[in-house]
Amino acid sequence: MTVMESVLQYVVAPLIPVIGALVVAGLGKLVQLLHAKQGESKLLGALGVGAELVSTSVSHVIDGLKPELQAALADGKIDDAEKATLKAKAMELLKKELPAGVQGVLSTTLGPALETWLSGKVTQAISAQEGAKPAANP
């Protein structure tokens, strides 16, 4: 028996089950990692769709509030009370317009920050309308 045969028979052969188990365990961990990444990817995709729906819904809600916005802009500026009233109406309409599934995903992901985020989107839209008011005729 040669040295190589002895090494194979007495060292490598007993290690084969251990090496096999390590390879299987490593592959199991790799599969878990890939499943986790896939879940993250789906979540990020859902959040992207949710954010797009929120932006579209905010625009739609603001368009629906055009008469109120124009009345508030009659004096050239939306004061704090008018802004608060518009924001409250917009938030109420936005919550009715957003699908429950989208609200659920966003609520699960953002938690208590969802209300603040939606409020910020509405405030941005109202401020944009204020900045885009038509110029007064001289």
Residue 91 is predicted with a pLDDT of 84
Residue 137 is predicted with a pLDDT of 41
Residue 129 is predicted with a pLDDT of 77
* Residue 19 resides in a domain: no
* Residue 24 resides in a domain: no
* Residue 73 resides in a domain: yes
* HEC string for 32-79: HHHHHHHHHHHHHHHHHHHHHHHHHHHHHHHHHCHHHHHHHHHHCCCC
Residue 132 is predicted with a pLDDT of 64
* Residue 98 resides in a domain: yes
77, 87, 100, 119 from 126: Cα distances, Å: 11, 8, 24, 11
From first to last of the 138 residues of the chain, give the pLDDT tens digit.
Answer: 788 888 778 887 787 777 777 777 777 787 777 777 666 676 677 677 777 778 888 888 888 888 888 888 888 788 888 888 888 888 888 888 878 877 887 788 778 888 888 888 888 888 887 776 554 444
Residue 76 is predicted with a pLDDT of 77
Domain membership of residue 66 as a residue range:
42-130
* Residue 21 resides in a domain: no
* Residue 28 resides in a domain: no
Q: How many domains does the chain have?
A: 1
* Residue 55 resides in a domain: yes
Is the whole-model pTM more than 0.75? no
* Residue 47 resides in a domain: yes
